[in-house]
Structure 1
Amino acid sequence: MTSSRSDGSDTLLGAWLLGLAGFVDAIAFVVLHGSFVAFMSGNSTIFGASGAVGHWRTASLSVLLIVLFFLGNVLGALQSRFLGRTAHRSLMISIAVVTTVGTAVATWMSEAAGMITIAIAAGLINSALSARTDVHVGLTYVTGTLVKSAHQLVDGLGSDHPWAWIKTLGFWAIFACGAAIGGVAYHGLGSAALWFAVALAVIACLLPHRFR
């Protein structure tokens, strides 16, 4: 029973953070003209392609986003390793604080600078869950989610758990839905839509979790 509740709390938290990541990534895509805060595979491709044709400003932006995303992951990993039982709460608060700072910057100073700041929060999100869970580390690596779901589909043929792949595929769907909602919200509200992301991050601080 305890294990089931633990798995459920990881799933809920992972799904919630994925929706948040999709939401801010869609807004970043629009504000940063095709760059991302949560999809580093895309930024890596943009960096390579832009550098190859001499678009150094775009390439530099991609590098900056990758560095900040990496920094967010490092900060999250440090908290997970050294803060013990307070690590999860500290991580959630860090995500909420950075998202709030980025939103404030985007709202009152510069949309681009605000979204770049939120890349750190996206990195923190990817450090929020343990490797010992169905919700894998590298939360916003949805390509990996699709690959895992495909393998589970094949592995489930003729087994007692033929539908396990649907749960994994659901994480991709949540990210995509978050992105769709973020796009619609930004279209209607502009940078003020990011305050919904702040609300999502604050609620994440209150969601159940397990100590690992």
Structure 2
Amino acid sequence: MREQQSRRRKIILALFLSGLSGFIDILGLFGIGGMFLSFMSGNSTRLAFYLAEGEFKHALPYLLLIFGFVFGAFAGDLVKSRWHTHQLLIILMIETILVLTSFFMLSYNLTDEWSYLPLTVAMGIQNAIQIVVDHKIIGRTFFSGVLHSLGVSISQALQKNRPWRSAAIDLAIWLVAVSGAFLAGWLQPNIPVTTLLLGVSIILLFLIFVIIIFNRREKGDFISLRQG
């Protein structure tokens, strides 16, 4: 029973993180700078294009985005290496601070042309939240990887090497990520980006509060993260 509860919590958290990634990505694409904030494959392709065209000024923001994402992944892994307990809580706290940083930069016009950088660092840090369910890592922003995993899971299920629930998890994560992106695209034209970022921050703070309660109840981390 306890193992089933742990599995359910991990899936819910992974779905939330996937939806958040899709939401932030669309905010960046249509509201902040016109660039992807978690989809680094798209940014890498655009970087290569502008470099090939010799448009170094246009290439620089994409290079900074990629650097920010890599730095976020570095920082997230460092947190997991240095803190053996409360890893999830610390990573989410840092992510919330970064989202709020972008919010204040936009709200007070503080170098708002670079206000996307804290968000892409936040997405890099979020990828350090490696949740293992059914021997697979879920909840990260690698949506191409999720679709690849879905194809493999379907193949394995048809061969009766893996249960269909594995494919169902992959499909659910992709659908939630797309839904998060859809929600941001639907809200963004009518609601200021600053308001949406504040809303994301409040939701993250609520999640942190819930995790603190569960950690106290469980007398430890109620969700353990994969190392490495």
TM-score, with structure 1 as normaliser:
0.90
**1:66-103 Cα deviation digits (max 9, x unpaired):** 11111111111111111111222111111111111111
Partner of 1:60: 60
2 CA distance for matches of 1:137 and 1:67?
Answer: 23
Q: 4+ residue runs of structure 1 moved beyond 4 angstroms?
A: none
**1:150-184 Cα deviation digits (max 9, x unpaired):** 11111101527235312211111111111111112
Aligned pair 1:196/2:199, yes or no? yes
Partner of 2:6: 6
List aligned pairs for 1:12-51, cutoff 5 A.
Answer: 12-32=12-32, 34-51=34-51
1:22–1:178 contact (8 Å) kept in structure 2: yes
* Aligned CA distance change for structure 1 residues 104 and 3 (closer, same or farther; 3 Å): same
RMSD of Structure 2 on Structure 1 (CA)? 2.0
1:28–1:36 contact (8 Å) kept in structure 2: yes
1:37–1:115 contact (8 Å) kept in structure 2: yes
2 CA distance for matches of 1:103 and 1:37?
Answer: 15
The answer for unaligned runs of 5 or more in structure 1 is none
SS in 2 for 1:188: coil
1:96–1:201 contact (8 Å) kept in structure 2: yes
1:38–1:119 contact (8 Å) kept in structure 2: yes
Larger helix share, 1 or 2 = 1
Aligned pair 1:167/2:180, yes or no? no
* Aligned CA distance change for structure 1 residues 138 and 56 (closer, same or farther; 3 Å): farther
* Aligned CA distance change for structure 1 residues 78 and 60 (closer, same or farther; 3 Å): same
**Mean alpha-carbon deviation: is it higher for 82-91 or for 193-202?**
193-202
1:149–1:168 contact (8 Å) kept in structure 2: yes
Partner of 2:128: 127
2:95–2:125 contact (8 Å) kept in structure 1: yes
List aligned pairs for 1:99-118, cutoff 5 A.
Answer: 99-109=99-109, 110-118=111-119
SS in 2 for 1:85: coil
% of aligned pairs identical? 20
Partner of 2:146: 145
1:127–1:137 contact (8 Å) kept in structure 2: no
2:98–2:119 contact (8 Å) kept in structure 1: yes
Partner of 2:76: 76
* Aligned CA distance change for structure 1 residues 36 and 13 (closer, same or farther; 3 Å): same
TM-score, with structure 2 as normaliser:
0.84
**Mean alpha-carbon deviation: is it higher for 14-23 or for 145-154?**
14-23
The answer for unaligned runs of 5 or more in structure 2 is 215-221
1 CA distance for matches of 2:118 and 2:41?
Answer: 18
1:38–1:123 contact (8 Å) kept in structure 2: yes
Partner of 1:186: 188
1 CA distance for matches of 2:187 and 2:55?
Answer: 30
**1:32-82 Cα deviation digits (max 9, x unpaired):** 554211011111001001111122222111110011111111111111111
